[in-house]
Amino acid sequence: MKHMRYKICVIGLGLMGASLAKALKGFRNAEISGADTDEYTREKALYTGAVSRASHDAADVAADANLLVFCVYPRHVPEILERCAPKISDGAVISDICGVKTGLYERITPLIPKNADYVGAHPMAGRERDGIDHADRDLFKGTGFIVCPLPSTKSSSVSLMSDVARHIGATKLAVAPAGLHDQIIAYTSDLMHIAAAALCMDYHPGMTSAYTAGAFRDCTRIGDINAEAWTELLMGNSDNTVSVLERYMGRLSEVRDALREGDAARLTALLELGGANKRAMLGR
Amino acid sequence: MKHMRYKICVIGLGLMGASLAKALKGFRNAEISGADTDEYTREKALYTGAVSRASHDAADVAADANLLVFCVYPRHVPEILERCAPKISDGAVISDICGVKTGLYERITPLIPKNADYVGAHPMAGRERDGIDHADRDLFKGTGFIVCPLPSTKSSSVSLMSDVARHIGATKLAVAPAGLHDQIIAYTSDLMHIAAAALCMDYHPGMTSAYTAGAFRDCTRIGDINAEAWTELLMGNSDNTVSVLERYMGRLSEVRDALREGDAARLTALLELGGANKRAMLGR
Write the pLDDT tens digit of every residue in B95-130.
999 999 999 999 999 999 999 999 999 999 987 778
Q: Residue B164's closest CA among B96, B115, B103?
A: B96
d(CA B201, CA B194): 10
pLDDT over 90 (residue A3):
no
**If you count residue pairs, one on A and one on B, with CB atoms under 8 Å apart, how many are there?**
311
Determine the distance in angstroms separating the CA of A151 from the nearest CA of chain B, rounded to an integer: 19
Which residues of chain B have a CB within 8 Å of the CB of A219? 192, 195-196, 218-219, 222
* pLDDT given for residue B283 in this prediction: 84
- Inter-chain touch A284–B208, beta carbons under 8 Å: yes
CB-based contacts of B36: which residues, under 8 Å, 6+ apart? B12, B13, B14, B17, B42, B45, B54, B56
Write out chain B's pLDDT in tens, 284 residues.
456 899 999 999 999 999 999 999 999 999 999 999 999 999 999 999 999 999 999 999 999 999 999 999 999 999 999 999 999 999 999 999 999 999 999 999 999 999 999 999 999 998 777 899 999 999 999 999 999 999 999 999 999 999 999 999 999 999 999 999 999 999 999 999 999 999 999 999 999 999 999 999 999 999 998 999 899 999 999 999 999 999 999 999 999 999 999 999 999 999 999 999 999 998 88
Q: Pick from A128, A143, A224 the residue to mutate for testing the B interface (most B CBs within 10 Å).
A: A224
Residue range(s) of every CATH 3.40.50.720 domain in chain A: 7-176
Measured at the alpha carbon of residue B76, what is the angle toward residues B237 and B127, in degrees to the nearest 5? 65
d(CA B113, CA B84): 9
CB B132 within 8 A of CB B41: yes
- Inter-chain touch B248–A252, beta carbons under 8 Å: yes
* pLDDT given for residue A270 in this prediction: 98
CB A265 within 8 A of CB A212: no
Which residues of chain B have a CB within 8 Å of the CB of A144? 209-213
CATH number for the domain whose boundaries are B181-282:
1.10.3660.10
Which residues of chain B have a CB within 8 Å of the CB of A218? 196, 218-219, 221-222
CB B91 within 8 A of CB B115: yes
Residue range(s) of every CATH 1.10.3660.10 domain in chain B: 181-282
Q: Residue B254's closest CA among A260, A234, A173?
A: A234
Helix spans in chain B (H): 15-23, 39-47, 58-62, 77-84, 102-108, 155-167, 178-185, 192-199, 214-219, 227-236, 238-260, 264-282
d(CA A241, CA B262): 12
Q: Pick from A73, A148, A212, A246 the residue to mutate for testing the B interface (most B CBs within 10 Å).
A: A212
Q: Is B224 on the interface with A (CB under 8 A)?
A: yes
Q: Is A246 on the interface with B (CB under 8 A)?
A: yes
Whole-angstrom Cα Rg for chain A: 21
pLDDT over 60 (residue A273):
yes
* pLDDT given for residue A41 in this prediction: 98
Q: Is A208 on the interface with B (CB under 8 A)?
A: yes
- Inter-chain touch B256–A249, beta carbons under 8 Å: yes
**Which helix H or strand E contains A68, and what residues bound it?**
strand A67-70
Q: Is A249 on the interface with B (CB under 8 A)?
A: yes
d(CA B77, CA A231): 49
d(CA A11, CA A84): 11
Q: Is A241 on the interface with B (CB under 8 A)?
A: yes
Report A:94-123 residues touching B (Cβ under 8 A). none
Determine the distance in angstroms separating the CA of A29 from the nearest CA of chain B, rounded to an integer: 27
Measured at the alpha carbon of residue B186, what is the angle toward residues B185 and B190, in degrees to the nearest 5? 95
Determine the distance in angstroms separating the CA of A70 from the nearest CA of chain B, rounded to an integer: 20
* pLDDT given for residue B276 in this prediction: 96
Q: Which of B184, B222, B242 sits opposite A211 (nearest CB)?
A: B184
Q: Is A162 on the interface with B (CB under 8 A)?
A: no
ipTM score here? 0.92
CATH architecture classification, A7-176: 3-Layer(aba) Sandwich (3.40)
Q: Residue A128's closest CA among A58, A229, A10?
A: A229
Helix (H/G/I), strand (E/B), else coil: A22: helix
* pLDDT given for residue A1 in this prediction: 45
Length of chain B: 284
At A214-259, the pLDDT tens digits run 999 999 999 998 999 899 999 999 999 999 999 999 999 999 999 9
Q: Is A194 on the interface with B (CB under 8 A)?
A: yes
Question: Which chain A residue has the Cα nearest residue B264?
Answer: A231
* pLDDT given for residue A4 in this prediction: 85
- Inter-chain touch B235–A262, beta carbons under 8 Å: yes
**Percent composition of chain A: helix, strand, coil (DSSP 3-state, to 5):** 55, 15, 35
Q: Pick from A101, A129, A185, A220 the residue to mutate for testing the B interface (most B CBs within 10 Å).
A: A220
* pLDDT given for residue B282 in this prediction: 87
Q: Is A40 on the interface with B (CB under 8 A)?
A: no
* pLDDT given for residue A283 in this prediction: 84
**Phi and psi at residue A180, to the nearest 5°:** -65, -45
Q: Which of B206, B262, B273 sits opposite A180 (nearest CB)?
A: B206
At A61-72, the pLDDT tens digits run 999 999 999 999
d(CA A251, CA A270): 8
| Amino acid identity, position A212 | T
CA–chain centroid gap for A237, Å, is 13
